């Protein structure tokens, strides 16, 4: 114990403390080098582990392609016109009857977890995706629009096969839900993966062919400031030209496409879009320690109104005028690095299983 009125004890205390501090620093430095060495070894072990898992999963997927052709292409003969989309507007989906270019889908899938292909198409649109997600937001619409453009390339006949798709999204739960609903991707099957480096871009792959595309909005659609009103950059939203994200597998945008990375249509009352961006900076993207410049409770209704107005502007135009996609050649699917969450996808293993050749004999 240190008694202030005993100076010699105080000096001893100080010298002792300094000595202990120096010792701790020296120990800390040596420990840090040990930890660093251990970390390198651990990193190598982890990398080897996932390399082995990747190989194992690829073998499992190849095996899955054999019985009943689980990841084979869609059936040749299917029936359309057997389902319809709910296009009536409502309080959570007010754009249904107002926008001519809302994304819509027609899909096929399997009957149950061990059932065969349905030969009849199911239709769905934004109202269904909003119900699934729980509320309406911009990211749901943007993701659906990008998925629609990608599916147009992957399925020229217009019918999306949800048994052979998988996708990658960034951190946004809204984007993830929209992707999951449209593609049938599932975290548990490794067919819905998350990579924060994508930002607001998305990636879709056809499992049967390996065909891979990625997409994002065009410059002028984003309702985020590239640089926040507080002076800090909005890193999650890069300007979508040569590269649309920080995803390591993203190819550069083809040269003949660079001139088409910005919207060509005129935004009606652009000052309202800027107001939306500034309000969003305050409500969602405050830098650490920064106080908002507006009272959030006084602008919430205005914020919602501005968002819907923005979506009305966007979806008055064909999707290709507001969103863009590009192919990712030779992309080899990277299975999620999670344990033990990933399991082989089994829900479509019997989609090509034969139907009964005749009814069972009825005993008299």
CA distances from 15 to 12, 24, 28, 219, 291 (A): 5, 14, 19, 63, 44
Beta strands 202-206 and 165-169, pairing class = antiparallel
Q: What is the DSSP letter of 209?
A: T
Question: pTM for this one?
Answer: 0.80
| pLDDT at residue 310, rounded to an integer | 96
Give long-range contacts, CB 8 A cutoff, 24+ apart: 262-270.
Answer: 262/218, 262/219, 262/220, 263/218, 263/219, 263/220, 263/221, 263/317, 263/321, 263/322, 264/321, 265/317, 265/321, 267/220, 267/313, 268/313
pLDDT at 228: 76
Cα distances (angstroms) measured from residue 97 to each of 86, 196, 308, 316: 10, 35, 13, 12
Rounded to the nearest angstrom, the gap between the alpha carbon of residue 173 and the centroid of all alpha carbons in its chain is: 8
pLDDT of residue 271: 95
Residue 20: what pLDDT?
Answer: 40
Instruction: Give the span between the Cα atoms of 161 and 121, in whole angstroms.
Output: 9
Angle ∠(181,185,191) on CA atoms, nearest 5: 165
Q: What is the model's pLDDT at position 159?
A: 93
Provide the β-strand partners of residue 39: none
Closest-CA residue to 72 (of 60, 82, 64) = 64
User: In sequence order, which ranges of 68-226 are alpha helices (DSSP H)?
Assistant: 126-133, 138-154, 173-183
Q: Are 116 and 355 in contact (CB under 8 A)?
A: yes
Buried b (16+ CB within 10 A) or exposed e, 276-301: bbbbbbbeebbeeeeeeeeeeeebee
pLDDT score at 267:
92
So what's the pLDDT on residue 335? 82
Q: Which residues of the chain have pLDDT under 50?
A: 1-36
What is residue 8's predicted lDDT score, i.e. its pLDDT?
42
Asked whether 159 and 119 are in contact (CB, 8 A), the reply is no
Domains of the chain and CATH, by start: 46-327 (3.30.1330.130)
Q: Tell me which residue of 74, 294, 88, 337 sits closest to 190, measured CA to CA.
A: 337
Judged by DSSP in three states, 204 sits in strand
The alpha carbons of the chain give a radius of gyration, in whole angstroms, of 27
Instruction: Write down the pLDDT at residue 223.
Output: 87
Per residue in 93-115, pLDDT (tens digit) is 999 999 999 999 999 988 877 77
Is residue 217 within 8 Å of residue 142, measured between CB atoms? yes
Alpha carbon distance 71, 68 (integer Å): 9
Distance CA 275, CA 303 (A): 9
Question: Which residues make Cβ contacts (< 8 Å) with residue 202, sequence separation at least 6?
Answer: 143, 146, 147, 167, 168, 169, 170, 175, 179, 214, 215, 216
Cis peptide before 9 (omega within 30 of 0): no
Sign of the CA dihedral running 132, 133, 135, 141 = negative
Return the closest-CA partner of residue 323 out of 260, 275, 232, 243: 260
């Amino acid at each position: 114990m240190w008694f202030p009125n005993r100076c010699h004890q105080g000096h001893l205390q100080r010298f002792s403390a300094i000595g202990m501090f120096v010792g701790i620093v020296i120990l800390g430095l040596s420990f840090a080098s040990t930890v660093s060495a251990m970390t390198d070894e651990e990193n190598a072990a982890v990398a080897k582990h996932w390399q082995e898992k990747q190989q194992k999963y690829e073998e499992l997927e190849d095996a899955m392609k054999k019985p009943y052709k689980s990841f084979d292409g869609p059936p040749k003969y299917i029936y359309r016109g057997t389902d319809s989309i709910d296009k009536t507007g409502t309080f959570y989906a007010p754009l249904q009857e107002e926008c001519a270019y809302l994304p819509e889908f027609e899909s096929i899938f399997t009957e149950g977890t061990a059932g065969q292909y349905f030969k009849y198409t199911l239709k769905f649109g934004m109202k269904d995706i909003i119900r699934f997600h729980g509320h309406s937001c911009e990211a749901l619409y943007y993701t659906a629009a990008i998925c629609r453009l990608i599916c147009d390339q992957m399925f020229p006949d217009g019918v999306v096969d949800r048994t052979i798709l998988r996708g990658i999204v960034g951190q946004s739960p809204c984007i993830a839900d929209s992707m999951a609903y449209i593609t049938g991707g599932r975290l548990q099957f490794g067919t819905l993966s998350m990579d924060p480096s994508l930002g607001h871009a998305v990636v879709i792959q056809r499992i049967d062919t390996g065909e891979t595309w990625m997409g994002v909005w065009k410059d002028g659609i984003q309702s985020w400031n590239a640089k926040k009103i507080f002076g800090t950059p909005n890193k999650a939203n890069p300007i979508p030209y040569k590269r649309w994200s920080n995803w390591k597998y993203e190819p550069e945008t083809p040269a003949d496409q660079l001139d088409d990375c910005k919207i060509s249509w005129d935004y009606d009352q652009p000052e309202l879009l800027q107001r939306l961006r500034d309000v969003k900076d305050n409500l969602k993207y405050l830098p650490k320690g920064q106080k908002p410049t507006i009272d959030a409770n006084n602008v919430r209704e205005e914020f919602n109104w501005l968002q819907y107005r923005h979506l009305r502007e966007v979806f008055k135009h064909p999707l290709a005028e507001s969103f863009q996609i590009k192919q990712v050649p030779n992309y080899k699917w990277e299975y999620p690095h999670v344990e033990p969450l990933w399991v082989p996808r089994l829900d479509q293993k019997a989609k090509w299983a034969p139907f009964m050749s005749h009814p069972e004999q009825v005993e008299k």
